[in-house]
A = this chain, B = another copy of it.
Amino acid sequence: MTADLSPAPLFAAPSPDHHEQEEGAVLRPRFDAAGLVTAVVTDHASGELLMVAHMNDRALAETLSTGVAHYWSRSRNTLWKKGETSGALQNVREVRVDCDQDAVWLKVAVAKPNDTCHTGRTTCFYRVVADDGQNLTVRDTAGHPANS
């Protein structure tokens, strides 16, 4: 006998059966080659898109078990409890999964909304793409050029 040293998986595996993956009653997150799913985060009350992040299996498991959003930081290569430093903790009100289960949607209540984005804004999506006929620019949501 050889000891099985691999940890137990945190989630059921994706199903090779499309119908089971898309219509079944079991959560079967489809992590990509880097072990991640995409997380889309909106404000539960306003519906505003706050941020996009990524989760590995541990981040998703921590989020579901604690009710506080955890992500995987690709830049720091570490589990990231959002708001642990800034105070902008995200309390998760609902988690949805998409058809093929490679993306999740978190509806959250943010403890300190002005620090959701590390730039000091309520959302990371604070700029609108505009085409001035010559160039593609980004402007603030009031239509003013961003400050460079």
Chain B residues near A148 (CB, 8 Å)? 20, 23-26
Residue A112, interface by CB 8 Å: no
With A40-B52, A99-B124 known to touch, is A25 a contact of B139 (CB < 8 Å)? yes
A147-B42 in contact given A96-B129, A105-B125, A136-B11 (Cβ < 8 Å): no
In chain B, what residue has the closest Cβ to A20?
B148
Contact with B along A22-48 (1 / 0, CB 8 A): 111111000000000010101000011
Whether A138 sits at the interface, judged by CB under 8 Å, is yes
B146 to A118, Cβ gap below 8 A? no
Also in contact, A96 and B127, with CB within 8 A (given A11-B136, A38-B52): yes
| Contact residues of A between 77 and 101, Cβ < 8 Å to B | 94-99
Q: A118 contacts which chain B residues (CB < 8 A)?
A: 99
Nearest-Cβ distance from residue A106 to partner chain B, whole angstroms: 10
Q: Is A109 an interface residue (CB 8 A)?
A: no
Closest 8 CB pairs of A and B: A24-B148, A98-B124, A47-B47, A27-B136, A95-B129, A52-B103, A96-B125, A25-B146
